[in-house]
Amino acid sequence: MLVIANPDIVRLFFRIAFNVNKSALSRNMSSDNVQIGAYNPALVPHFATLSRSTTTTRAVPSAKAFGERTTMSREDHDRERMRWLLRLEEIETRLADSETLNSDMHQIRAELTDILSTNSYNIMDRNSNKKIVELEKSQRPLIEQNRKINDRNKILQQEIKKLEQKLCHCQDDFLTLKDAYERLVKEYTQLKEKRTYPEKLEELERYRAQVLEYSKCITALRSSGLEKDRRYELLVQKLKRMRKCLKKGDTDEDRQSIVGSDCSTESFISLDAIAEDFESFNTDIEVNYQALYRENSELQKALQVVKLNPSGIEDSLLRDQLTCAHTTIAQQQILINKNDEMMKTTVSSFNRISQLGHLKNVATSQAERIRQLEQQIEDMDRQLCASREAHELLEFQVLEKEENSKCLAALPKQNHKCFGTEDIRPVYQERSCETDDLGESSSPITIERTALSPSEVAGLKTSMGEIRNAINLKLAQRDIIWKAEGYIENLEDQLMSSKMVHQKETQQLEEKLEELQIQVEESYSKEKRKELQIEVEELRTNLAEIDSIKENLTEELRSTSKELVKLRCQLQSKDVELEREKKLAESLNE
């Protein structure tokens, strides 16, 4: 047994060994850390020079091409590549430093074991051996993690090289396609400048504006025509109702007063107990009369709206024919312009004088055709105006007569439903005298008749006064109503005949327009059409090829961007793992 005289020396040796092991562990953990984040400068050694500021910079987006955005330019890519290479070199230097530190630590441990073997102190020997074993156990997972990280870094470097090669190829293809696209655009602009002149462009814009105006007019006319048909159907239904009411006699149904309209709900009043409910009957009559007056005002408003925008199916057909004629005129003008260009080009050659004469004749013939078409368009416009005026007059007359018949037939019908009680006549007269004052003071209603003569208006007023004051209908009043109905039927017959005449005229105009279109189509030159079609097809094929190449490039760029995103995710996960390992090492050191 060897006895050491000074035990403080042994304690000092153990403290030195423990501090050396702690520094080696901290250096290993700092060298294993490949995270792009904040780090503790107290734990990282003096040779760890990486910082987060170099890695948080985002990739600068490059210029646009074909409406999409590429991930990065060549310069940005080279910068990123150099940055990653520097990081890898720094990591390798850190790993080498950690290996040297580990070797130094092993040497110190060997020296300590030699010292402890010379000093055969059993209790201290056991404690030191335990500490050394614990240190070795704590270092083993760190060494394995270092080895795994090195393997992963090698795999990542290989993948980065492959992606760089792909990016170089894609960028070269992109530049070639961009050059080809610019050439095609220049050729296309040159062809446009050769074929189009500012005067023609102005004419084209003018024709487009006319087409838009015509289309708006057509839509407005169609909508107004549909509204007109709907209103006409409503008026026909109301006429049928009035006829049914007049044709019905004094039956059991007449024992009840039925008054209904679009504005007021139907009311049923029994006449068996008329002495008790006569006041309510008068109020119902007043309400229904006000509803009829409102309906009359609404119909007058609708008539004014129809006057403001008069249209119909025939008008829309004529508008369509006018647009067709305008298109034919535009086509003829295009042909004239083409012929003028041919004439300008052939003036230099003396041998083509005959062709020039022929072209002049063609131009004059086409100009004559254009004049004929313009005359036809003017005639069609006149016919349109005449048809509109006729429609307006007929509609106005029909609506006037229907309103008159409504006003005449509504009140007699109400009074006719009260037939069958003769003993109540004085009571009704007294109550009517009492309510006349109230009616004059409370409901001042005035109905305007614009298209009637003053004598007819006076006769209608007298008849209406007799109908209000009388209980039963008279034969004269019924005759007036029947005459109004006959007049309305005559107006309807006139409308139908005018529609038939307009349909025949439109059919004739359509046939004429078809003949004109056939003549215009025969006048076109087929050779020019074929040449233009060939050029258009060639341009379409070129554009299709460019689109296909563009799609392929976009797909490749998307695939590369997806791969880069995956790599970034992997690097982030590795950084997270390294942070966890660093935290564990810090906890062990503490």
pLDDT of 214-230, one tens digit each?
778 788 877 877 887 88
Q: Which pLDDT score is estimated for 153?
A: 87
Q: pLDDT digits over 471-497, tens only?
A: 566 666 666 666 665 665 676 677 677
3-state secondary structure 224-283: HHHHHHHHHHHHHHHHHHHHHHHHCCCCHHHHEEEECCCCCCCEEEECCCCCCCHHHHHH
Q: Which pLDDT score is estimated for 125?
A: 61
3-state SS assignment for residue 447 = coil
3-state SS assignment for residue 309 = coil
Residue 547 CB-density burial (10 A; 0-12 exposed, 13-18 middle, 19+ buried): exposed
Report how many helices (DSSP H) and strands (DSSP E) the chain contains, helices first.
Answer: 11, 4
Kindly report the length of the chain. Answer: 590
Q: Which pLDDT score is estimated for 214?
A: 77
Residue 93 CB-density burial (10 A; 0-12 exposed, 13-18 middle, 19+ buried): middle
Q: At 228, which amino acid appears?
A: K
| Partners of 269 in beta bridges | 257
Q: Are 281 and 269 in contact (CB under 8 A)?
A: yes
Q: Are 293 and 285 in contact (CB under 8 A)?
A: no
Q: Which pLDDT score is estimated for 152?
A: 87
To the question of pTM greater than 0.85 for the whole model, the response is no
Q: Which pLDDT score is estimated for 100?
A: 87
Mean pLDDT per block of 10 residues along the chain (590 residues) reads 45 56 51 40 41 44 48 83 89 88 85 70 66 81 86 88 88 88 86 68 78 80 80 82 71 45 42 45 62 68 60 52 65 64 54 55 66 73 74 72 69 46 39 40 42 54 56 64 62 72 75 69 62 74 75 76 76 78 71
Q: Which pLDDT score is estimated for 11?
A: 56
Q: Which pLDDT score is estimated for 236?
A: 81
Q: Which pLDDT score is estimated for 342?
A: 59
Q: Which pLDDT score is estimated for 389?
A: 77
Which residue ranges make up each domain of the chain?
Answer: 7-192+566-589, 196-524
CA distance 300 to 399: 8
How many Å from the N-terminal Cα to the C-terminal Cα in the chain? 37
CA distance 389 to 498: 12
Query: Within a 10 A sphere around the Cβ of 387, how many other Cβ atoms?
Result: 21
Query: Within a 10 A sphere around the Cβ of 219, how many other Cβ atoms?
Result: 11
Max CA pair span of the chain? 157
Using alpha carbons, list the distances in angstroms from residue 275 to 155, 256, 281, 431.
109, 15, 10, 11
